[in-house]
Structure 1
Amino acid sequence: MKPIPKEDIQSLERDILFQVLDFFEQYHITYFTSGGTTLGAVRHEGFIPWDDDIDLYIPRADYNRMLQLATNRTIGKNIRIYKPGDKNYIYPFAKACNINTRLNEQNVRHREQDIGIFIDLFPLDKFYDDPVRRNLLILHSKWLNSLLASASDQVNLSRKGSLRRLAKDTLRTLQKPLAKAIGISRLTRRIDALGRHTAKADCHLVGDLVWCNGGRDFYPAEHFAAGVPGTFEGRTIQNPIGYHSYLQKLYGDYMQLPPEDQRVMHGFTGWYLDETGETE
């Protein structure tokens, strides 16, 4: 296998994104940019220069339909969508991967994990309006994700030397026998089931329930009531209509560039399966 230069990562991810967007347009699947991809589209009209990640939100009904349409096939010329429950797949959300590449994520030690360069496809799920029910839901997701981290031997790379990291590492070690007994596939499906369950509820909040970023990733549903066209690497892309309030909650003064010491890329390395570096 041939190592993928860092400067090729963004172009490979852009190619995945464009093939995924073609697939979405073909089957009329609704989506929105999310996180740093929304920020990149609004502030840079493409990648944040030091970023190497693409994230999309897909409303739960369209997300479920996407998974059905993509089962047991590639989309475009070289893209496969992996989903919770797939063999040796350790995430509770989907990823669209270039099947002619492989990568190693710095925080993942699960040896059977065998995916390529990817973009993240998150279900946009409902959160309960009632704070008590919502907090219990978030705690449930966080606990299942903690078990999943133990089962898949994920490493906590943040807050080095902190008491909080020590507490998390200790918990992951203590619960590892239970997590291994439940198994990765069952845990990813259980986390996914949380979003499938709340889809039936009458709620006015939506966000990322399955990855549950500290329990803070929920927003008024009107922020995602429709898409508004933006530009990402020369292509029209759909940002959430409430992107301004969404980005303010995530980043504060989002048009202000962060200090240089905070401009950090994700920690992974990749390889082309073809020694020539071709991905077709």
Structure 2
Amino acid sequence: MNDKEYICDEIRDKFQVSSIRKKVWLCELKIAQWFCTVCSKYNLSYFLIGGSAIGAVRHNGFIPWDDDLDIGMLRNNFETFKEVAPKELPDEYYIEYGVLSDNIFSSLLRIRNKNTTGILVDEFRQGSEGGGIFIEIYPFDNTIGGVSRKIQLLKSSMFFLALNNWNRKNDFRGTKRLIISILRLFPISFIWVLYEKNNKKYNNYGTDYVDTIALPSYAKLGIHYYLLSDVIETVAHEYEFIKLNIPIGNDRCLRQQYGEYMRLPPIEQRGIHHDFIVFYDPDKPYSDYKNSSILKRYFDGDVSLELL
């Protein structure tokens, strides 16, 4: 199938998939193809997570009303990819992770296409110009249960809040405001080092479980608290016109997060995508939206500006 055929409108599971959404998908799939090529070259393992993993087994591709691609990597594979990827990057792609310019940070690794627009609401609120359409890579770290896990997540949450609010007016109260105010007395790069050190704390302990500690809100819910044995091996699965890997224990991972994930939601609940988390435009570079009033209107909830 060529690109022109792929981006045609179609109806999937009684949901109208627009050509614009298809263009976003196509952009993400091409990034994923490059990512898979690098992983194959360096013998790195990865696995789809969340809605992307559901899409694979339930739809053989994207959930028709979804628009992102989320991938997990165990920390050792993640670190190797982070090291080797820059020398493999084509001109139109770039990588974001850690402390970025203007004291903005990213706890997830994003591979982005600079010739498109995929601006996140947090980027806009922090005064960043944002970036291109992306796929997200989640680092998975060893973790344990009980009180030690709660302490680890508490520390991670406080570091994350401080990093995420570095360029924002501090509107927290009580203990959170005090802790964040103290942390912000130090350089953001120093706090990032403490944050990563805490996330990696149990990687040499040989634990039975792994989690996305780098995203504390998810870790607190336990939705990615996976048995290491479920994700250390993967299997290839059809995903649109390519193949992507899912965990060997994909069913258990998805049931933990979603329950009966193979059951489609009612028709009236399909395609409720006006969450205003990401502004997409696959036809223009994000630089075209610099200082544009369109972004403020969109992130304030102007449905008329939804392109998908």
Whether TM-score is above 0.5 comes out as yes
Q: Is the 8 A contact 1:226 1:240 kept in 2?
A: yes
Relative contact order higher in (CA < 8 Å, ≥ 6 apart): 1
What does the per-residue CA deviation read over 1:16-70, in whole Å, with 9 as the maximum and x for residues that have no partner?
Answer: 1111111111211111111111111111111111111111111111111111112
Partner SS for 2:107: coil
Say whether 1:8 aligns with 2:31.
no
Q: Is the 8 A contact 1:29 1:62 kept in 2?
A: yes
Q: Which residue number in structure 1 is paired with residue 215 of structure 2?
A: 211
Q: Which residue number in structure 1 is paired with residue 74 of structure 2?
A: 59
Q: 2:83 aligns with which of 59, 68, 84?
A: 68
Percent identity over the alignment is: 22
Q: Which residue number in structure 2 is paired with residue 199 of structure 1?
A: 203
Q: Is the 8 A contact 2:112 2:132 kept in 1?
A: yes
- State how far apart, in whole Å, the 2-side matches of 1:245 and 1:154 are: 41
Residues 42 and 77 of structure 1: CA distance in aligned 2, closer, same or farther (over 3 Å): farther
- State how far apart, in whole Å, the 2-side matches of 1:152 and 1:201 are: 36
Residues 169 and 257 of structure 1: CA distance in aligned 2, closer, same or farther (over 3 Å): farther
Partner SS for 1:92: strand
Q: Which residue number in structure 2 is paired with residue 240 of structure 1?
A: 247
Unaligned runs of 5+ in 1: 156-167, 276-280
- State how far apart, in whole Å, the 2-side matches of 1:149 and 1:262 are: 31
- State how far apart, in whole Å, the 1-side matches of 2:106 and 2:30 are: 22
Q: Which residue number in structure 2 is paired with residue 181 of structure 1?
A: 185
* TM-score between both structures, scaled by the size of structure 2: 0.74
Residues 242 and 38 of structure 1: CA distance in aligned 2, closer, same or farther (over 3 Å): same
Residues 169 and 11 of structure 1: CA distance in aligned 2, closer, same or farther (over 3 Å): farther
Q: Which residue number in structure 1 is paired with residue 295 of structure 2?
A: none
* TM-score between both structures, scaled by the size of structure 1: 0.81
Shift of 1:206: 0.7
RMSD (Å) for aligned C-alpha atoms? 2.9
Say whether 1:273 aligns with 2:285.
yes
Residues 53 and 28 of structure 1: CA distance in aligned 2, closer, same or farther (over 3 Å): same
Q: Which residue number in structure 2 is paired with residue 159 of structure 1?
A: none
Shift of 1:154: 10
Partner SS for 1:134: helix
Partner SS for 1:91: strand
- State how far apart, in whole Å, the 2-side matches of 1:203 and 1:106 are: 35
Amino acid paired to 1:197: K
Shift of 1:91: 1.2
Q: Which residue number in structure 1 is paired with residue 135 of structure 2?
A: 119
Q: Which residue number in structure 2 is paired with residue 95 of structure 1?
A: 110
Unaligned runs of 5+ in 2: 1-18, 288-308
- State how far apart, in whole Å, the 2-side matches of 1:116 and 1:123 are: 21
Q: Relative to structure 2, which stretch is displaced further, 117-126 or 136-145?
A: 136-145
Partner SS for 2:99: coil
Q: Is the 8 A contact 1:57 1:123 kept in 2?
A: yes
- State how far apart, in whole Å, the 2-side matches of 1:241 and 1:143 are: 33
Q: Is the 8 A contact 1:51 1:264 kept in 2?
A: no
- State how far apart, in whole Å, the 2-side matches of 1:120 and 1:57 are: 8
Amino acid paired to 2:201: H
- State how far apart, in whole Å, the 1-side matches of 2:101 and 2:260 are: 41
Q: Relative to structure 2, which stretch is displaced further, 9-18 or 204-213?
A: 9-18
Q: Is the 8 A contact 2:235 2:247 kept in 1?
A: yes
Shift of 1:270: 3.6
Count of residues in Structure 1 that have an aligned counterpart in Structure 2: 259
Task: Report 1:222-241 matches (<5 A).
Answer: 222-241=229-248
Shift of 1:151: 1.8
Rg: which structure is higher? 2
Amino acid paired to 2:105: I
- State how far apart, in whole Å, the 2-side matches of 1:6 and 1:22 are: 24
Partner SS for 1:38: helix
